């Protein structure tokens, strides 16, 4: 098992574990999103009005987008910055741009 110091290293393309600096906040957000998803399932089970279900789906999408942006910022400020400083910036920036393209759709 890796120590926390080893886990913080973000060596691109070897994909070591990264300890998130705000892990508890991320987990709280994920738990809320999970609860929202269970709520939508219940709405479907109860034959709720389509617009109400779609509104809740939109809320989950927004919550997931916010979570993704938070993780993207953390990755950029941590992993990418570290890779640039260590001379592996080109690969890190390429990876970052691929992520941005994925979320830009």
Distance CA 91, CA 95 (A): 6
- Residue predicted with more confidence, 36 or 15: 36
Rounded-to-integer distance, Cα 93 and Cα 17, Å: 19
Of residues 2 and 78, which shows the higher confidence score? Answer: 78
| CATH code for the part of the protein at 22-103 | 1.20.58.1000
Q: Report pTM.
A: 0.75
Q: What local confidence, expressed as pLDDT, does residue 88 receive?
A: 87
Report the pLDDT value the prediction gives residue 1, as an integer from 0 to 100.
Answer: 38
**In angstroms, rounded to a whole number, what is the distance separating the alpha carbons of residues 97 and 65?**
17
Structure-block tokens of residue 56: 């809740």
The 10s digit of each residue's pLDDT in 16-53 is 677 788 899 999 999 999 999 999 999 999 999 999 99
Query: What is the biggest distance separating any 2 CA atoms in the chain, rounded to whole angstroms?
Result: 56
pLDDT in tens, 49-88: 999 999 999 999 999 999 999 999 999 999 899 999 999 8
> What is the model's pLDDT at position 19?
79
If one counts every other C-beta atom within 10 angstroms of the C-beta of residue 12, the result is 20
> Which has more confidence, 15 or 78?
78
Q: Which DSSP state fits 87? A: T
Domain ranges of the chain: 22-103
């Amino acid at each position: 098992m890796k120590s926390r110091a080893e886990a913080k290293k973000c060596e691109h393309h070897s994909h070591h574990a990264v300890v998130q600096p705000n892990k508890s906040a991320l987990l709280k957000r994920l738990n809320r999103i999970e609860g929202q998803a269970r709520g939508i399932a219940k709405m479907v089970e109860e034959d709720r009005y389509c617009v109400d279900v779609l509104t809740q789906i939109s809320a989950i999408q927004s919550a997931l987008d916010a979570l993704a942006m938070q993780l993207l910022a953390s990755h950029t400020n941590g992993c990418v910055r570290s890779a640039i400083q260590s001379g592996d910036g080109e690969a890190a920036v390429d990876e970052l741009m691929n992520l941005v393209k994925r979320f830009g759709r």
